[in-house]
A and B are shown apart, each in its own frame.
Chain A
Amino acid sequence: MRVLLVDDSRTMRNIQKKVVEQLGAVQFSEAGDGLEALSVIAASPQSFDLILIDWNMPNMDGHSLVIRIREKDKITPLIMVTTEAEKQRVIEALKAGVNNYVIKPFTPDQLTERIRTTLEKRKAAA
């Protein structure tokens, strides 16, 4: 499984890595903001199986990144992992095209469960 982690906090990316690794063999790519994420996606020879995206990042935030990704890619599962907890924000993110939403602080089990649910839905839809 190929996973892209987009978060300006390296600690948060490391936490997400350790959680996602529990799901099986994973190849990770990382980006510290939305612009870097677009470069990584463009340079990648294969598409990602999952992208985890933080909202508040410098240069390009997560919401804008989701919109840009969805312009060309309607399929790759996107999960927003963010401190933005207000209902309005969740709705905005879903409208932009995320498949699921995880609010920080989260426990490892909560993130794992959201990822599993998202991937299962994706598999069922395919």
Chain B
Amino acid sequence: MSCSESLSAAAATETCAAAPNGPALELLTGSAPDARHASHYERSQIPIARAGDAIARVLDPAAIRLGPNTELSEDGKQVMALASGQVRWRDGRIWVEDVLVIAGDVDFSTGSIDFAQDVIIHGSVLDLFKVKSGGTIRVCGAIEAAEVHAMADLFVGQAIAGKEKGRCVAGQNLQAKHISNASIEAGGDVTAETEVSHSRIICGGALRVEHGALLASHVTATGGVRCRILGSPAGAETLIEVGIDDGLRRMYAQLASKFEADQKQITKVRQTVEPLMRNQKALTAAQKETATELLFRASELEDENKRVLASLRTRSEEVDSRSKLEIVVDDTLCAGVRIRFPGLEATIPGTMRGPVRIVPGGTSGEPRIVVGSVGRAGSAMPVPTRIITDAAMEKLQRILAEQL
């Protein structure tokens, strides 16, 4: 649903339906501030229900009409939600809608949002508010210094202007007009129309700045980068990492110390217990029981580590399939930009006119980062390149290779 389509579908839902002698039902969800929440930002003013929730008490059964995703409780005294969504009511009819539409901004009038399905926000998301969706989030305005988290896609009609506090996460793709001073994470592609500046971008796919500059930012993009201008003549630091998966790096960092500790424990048990097993007659009954317990624990740890390695291997293979070791700059590549491919790093020595393509190259004995003009064969120029080591990732690759 687009922004304009949903605007016509949104309805005011301020009042309960009135029967001739009074209200027909009493809402049980959403509008009253929840006393448990200390922060004004958290108090959601929007009635939201989960499947199975009681959403209203029936006061006048004759005056109620049940709409989609609702039913009466067995005793007929409550209205129950059959699906998760926003509770709506109008003219005696109550229903649960599976798209949450906010007609204006996410601000103190709405509170922060946590919704299982898609969310459409016609205004902006203001400072310090949070929006979380189990589906796609579409913001027609801007996202300021807020936290927005979509399990699927995040589309922003205007800017993401994070003021160094804002954070946006999309399970799949993220799109905005421009991005500044924000932290962005997307499982898929990140696309900005006019500019990306002073931001931290992590994407599992490609980063594209279609009509503008990418500058003063730290970018980690597994699927490559394309922009019009890369870097800044003023020399603000720009670091572009391509073909590197930050998620895998973090996953391994999280698991590595436990994995290594478990491996040590397993080795210790096997080295201690197994010799004893060869001379069981010398063991007391209690020692035999303890030996059994230790062997079992070692076996459990081995199984757990196998599962961990399997998930790391799957992620590693998935990264390899998405990885595109390429940066394309259509207009200007500025001096001072730092480029990183797996194992290689270079700083662009001088400003170059585009379109240019930056890739890892050289020979196996002397790998280099190479900059070449697009469409001009033989124009590739190696730039002074440093070999860099990512100790954690190299260790992971070694472990994965050993386990094969």
Give A contacts to B, CB under 8 Å: 9, 11-12, 15, 18-19, 56, 83, 85, 103-108
Would you give the shortest CB distance from B272 to chain A, in whole angstroms? Answer: 12
CA gap between A27 and B85 in the complex, in Å? 39
* CB contact under 8 A between A107 and B295, given known A85-B280, A85-B281: yes
Docked-complex contact B288 and A83, CB < 8 angstroms: yes
Q: Which of B273, B276, B288, B291 neighbours the largest number of chain A CB atoms within 10 Å of its CB?
A: B288
Chain A CB within 8 A of B38 CB:
no
Interface residues of B in 273-297 (CB under 8 A from A): 273, 276-277, 280-281, 283, 285, 288-289, 291-293, 295-296
Q: Which of B285, B288, B295, B296 neighbours the largest number of chain A CB atoms within 10 Å of its CB?
A: B296
Give B contacts to A, CB under 8 Å: 273, 276-277, 280-281, 283, 285, 288-289, 291-293, 295-296, 299-300
CA gap between A15 and B289 in the complex, in Å? 11
Q: Pick the contact of A15 from B277, B281, B293 — CB < 8 Å?
A: B293
Docked-complex contact A105 and B295, CB < 8 angstroms: yes
Which residues of chain A have C-beta atoms less than 8 A from B292's C-beta? 12, 15, 104-106
Which residues of chain B have C-beta atoms less than 8 A from A105's C-beta? 273, 276-277, 280, 288-289, 291-292, 295
Docked-complex contact A83 and B293, CB < 8 angstroms: no
Would you give the shortest CB distance from A6 to chain B, in whole angstroms? Answer: 15
Docked-complex contact A12 and B289, CB < 8 angstroms: yes
15 CB < 8 A contacts A-B: A9-B289, A11-B293, A12-B289, A83-B283, A85-B281, A104-B288, A104-B291, A105-B276, A105-B277, A105-B280, A105-B288, A105-B295, A106-B292, A107-B295, A107-B296
Docked-complex contact A103 and B280, CB < 8 angstroms: yes
* CB contact under 8 A between A83 and B285, given known A104-B291, A105-B277: yes
Would you give the shortest CB distance from B381 to chain A, in whole angstroms? Answer: 60
Which residues of chain A have C-beta atoms less than 8 A from B283's C-beta? 83
Q: What is the count of residue pairs linking A and B with beta-carbon distances less than 8 angstroms?
A: 41
Would you give the shortest CB distance from A72 to chain B, in whole angstroms? Answer: 30
Docked-complex contact B299 and A104, CB < 8 angstroms: no
- Nearest chain B residue, comparing its CB with the CB of A56: B285
Which residues of chain B have C-beta atoms less than 8 A from A11's C-beta? 289, 293
CA gap between A9 and B296 in the complex, in Å? 15
> Nearest 4 CB-CB pairs, A to B?
A105-B291, A105-B292, A83-B285, A83-B288
Docked-complex contact A108 and B281, CB < 8 angstroms: no
Docked-complex contact B299 and A107, CB < 8 angstroms: yes
Which residues of chain A have C-beta atoms less than 8 A from B276's C-beta? 105
Which residues of chain A have C-beta atoms less than 8 A from B285's C-beta? 56, 83
CA gap between A11 and B281 in the complex, in Å? 23
CA gap between A106 and B292 in the complex, in Å? 6
* CB contact under 8 A between A83 and B289, given known A107-B295, A108-B296, A108-B299: yes
CA gap between A18 and B277 in the complex, in Å? 22
CA gap between A20 and B283 in the complex, in Å? 26
Docked-complex contact B296 and A15, CB < 8 angstroms: yes
CA gap between A7 and B293 in the complex, in Å? 14
Q: Which of A19, A56, A104 neighbours the largest number of chain B CB atoms within 10 Å of its CB?
A: A104
Which residues of chain B have C-beta atoms less than 8 A from A103's C-beta? 280
Docked-complex contact B289 and A104, CB < 8 angstroms: yes
Which residues of chain A have C-beta atoms less than 8 A from B288's C-beta? 83, 104-105
CA gap between A104 and B288 in the complex, in Å? 6
Q: Which of A9, A85, A103, A105 neighbours the largest number of chain B CB atoms within 10 Å of its CB?
A: A105
